A = this chain, B = another copy of it.
Amino acid sequence: MTTIALDLLGGDGAPAVVADAIAAHLTDPRGITLAVVGPAELTRTLLLERGVDPAHVRIVDAGRGAPMGANPLSTLRTHDDVTVAVAVGLVAGGLADGWVSVGHTGAAVAAAVLGLGRVGGMSRPALTVVVPSLAGPLVLLDVGAATDATPDVLRQLALAGWAYACALGVDDPGVGLLSIGSEAGKGDRLRRSTHDLLAEALPVEVRYVGPVEGHDVASGARARVVVTDGFTGNVLLKGLEGAVAWSAERMGGAYGDPGPAWAVAADTATSQFAGGVLLGVNGVTVVGHGAGTAAEIVACVRLADSAARMGLVPATAAALARISPAAARAAAAQADGSRIA
């Protein structure tokens, strides 16, 4: 059994769509207990309206949704009843194995960093998705946690992404640097500097395949880990989603029956691709689409459960420790205290 905390107040359709997701989850809980973080009375009312016995979840009272503004930190620092902070607190205190929000990404990232702390060796956490590439699961990061990167940050992402791919069972996952050509000299200033660093300064078992291109993310043929800054990664991820929706419309139209094409598109949204795992914080954190459906929120809960079960946080810490002596000490201390082996 794992316990996953769920932010009732995050997301465009909150709290109704989150309550729908709780009801859907309980029809097939897969050993996952939900800790629902939101106003307790509201939570009970929403569940009863959906014919759900509130006793089937843990209700954790928190009165305030995360702030949507550009600077969520000040609200988080001055109020202790914000749902994302309370959910993070459950993970930090060992009362939950992971947490999920489909609310404001910046607020979720800030709450996670404040409440869980960063993994040693990671200067900034990265939102990470598993793309169902034609070759199999492909780890793409950062897709939006931090917009401006440096070569050293991208090197950290290479290690964290590699650890994730290994934890997913990908054998010897090649790591590619997202660029605009496969030759070393291609790309902008950041990519040219990063290429040299990745070619020279990764542990020997992390196989750097060189620059890869946008189409390599959907194919997975050249690398199973693709590293980029959060701006480019977010643009690309949303571009892929848009192109799949475009294809469902156009290709479904070509067959005269859009059903199967839209089923493929919907399947990507309720797979491991449903949400992003925030790699680089000391606790399992999943951030989903603000416009996510109930089915997508259920998929985010399962993704958090899966990340907890596969030991993603200690795996990330161990990989980062390979390039940082300080991180090595922190990883050893964390492995001792890890709740899920």
A interface residues with partner B (beta carbon < 8 Å): 70, 133-134, 144, 147-148, 178-180, 183, 185, 187-189, 191, 213-219, 228-232, 234-252, 254-255, 257, 260-261, 263-265
Contact = CB atoms under 8 A, between A and B. Distances in A.
Contacts of A134: 246, 249
A231 B189 CA distance: 10
B185 A235 contact: no
Contacts of A191: 231
Do most interface residues of chain A lie in helix, strand or loop, or is the interface mixed?
helix
- How many copies of this protein are present in the complex? 2
A264 to B, nearest CB: 5
A215 B239 contact: yes
Contacts of A247: 243-244, 247-248, 251, 261, 264-265
Contact of A239 (B187, B214, B249): B214
A139 to B, nearest CB: 16
B264 A250 contact: yes
A12 to B, nearest CB: 12
A-B complex: 8 closest residue pairs judged by Cβ atoms: A214-B238, A215-B242, A247-B247, A243-B243, A214-B239, A218-B242, A147-B188, A218-B246
Given A214-B237, A236-B239, A250-B264, 6 more contacts: A133-B246, A134-B249, A219-B245, A228-B235, A232-B235, A251-B252
B231 A232 contact: yes
